[in-house]
Amino acid sequence: MSVKDECIQGKYWGLATSVDLYDCNPDFIRSKEKITEFVVKLCDYIEMKRFGDCVVVHFGEDEKVAGYSMLQLIETSLISGHFANKTNAAYLDIFSCKYYEPSDVETFCKDFFEAKESNCQYTFRK
């Protein structure tokens, strides 16, 4: 039985995926509107129902961490992220009790933000 099948059949409670993106399009990660568009499109892509509005807030007195942070509740958990202006990097987390394919999510995120490199790690939660 595949891990996907085990997840779907209830062996695992959920799936948590971290996607790190490097050398992103600087205009995209500095745009509240573009980040919100990303969340809507990602939820559509992985067939997750958004719960409420996406929250996107810019903060960070320290230049190293300054940038937008994002949070979107979904009916099966949440999507969050931070976008680092100094390094043009994005750090995204997708957690859901509904299965989705982590490698597909990584590709979607990398393509959307026009990142030159990416890294993806995932964990099944019991």
The CATH number of residue 72's host domain is 3.60.90.10
In a domain, 109, yes or no: yes
In a domain, 76, yes or no: yes
What pLDDT is recorded for position 13? 85
In a domain, 80, yes or no: yes
Domain count, the chain: 1
In a domain, 42, yes or no: yes
**Residue 119, domain extent:** 19-125
Sign of the torsion formed by the C-alpha atoms of 60, 37, 121 and 74 = positive
What pLDDT is recorded for position 28? 98
In a domain, 36, yes or no: yes
What pLDDT is recorded for position 3? 61
Report CA Rg, the chain. Answer: 15
In a domain, 120, yes or no: yes
In a domain, 40, yes or no: yes
Strand 89-96 relative to strand 117-125: parallel, antiparallel, unpaired? unpaired
Residues with pLDDT less than 70, the chain: 1-3, 6, 8
